Amino acid sequence: MTVYYHPHFQRSWRRLDRQIRERVEEKVALFRRDPFHIRLDTHRLHGKLKRFWSFSVDGRYRILFEFLDKTKTEAVFLDVGDHRIYR
């Protein structure tokens, strides 16, 4: 899995606490191996965000992303944070 990082994601990631950043890195590594691993709870979003996907970092934090191809071998991470990223 090839992952690209949008500048907005990078800015949001830098604002996170060190502990959360470490958790994010663990989940990104898992995502690279298997984007639909059960521990990620990867799911397609609905409504105005229906072309995007999300997966869980923990009970509070999520990563918002988009698959770049139909084979789902490339993705761009758009944002990371709590549920406010869906606004």
pLDDT digits (tens, 9 = 90+) for 23-44: 999 999 999 999 999 999 999 9
Q: Taking a C-beta distance cutoff of 8 angstroms, is the pair 73, 34 a contact? A: no
pTM, two decimal places = 0.95
CATH code: domain of residue 69: 3.30.2310.20
Q: Taking a C-beta distance cutoff of 8 angstroms, is the pair 84, 60 a contact? A: no
Tell me which residue range forms the domain holding 36.
2-86
Exposed (0-12), middle (13-18) or buried (19+): which is 63, by Cβ within 10 Å? buried
Give the number of domains in the chain: 1
Q: Are strands 2-5 and 74-81 parallel, antiparallel or unpaired?
A: parallel
Q: What is the pLDDT of residue 24?
A: 98
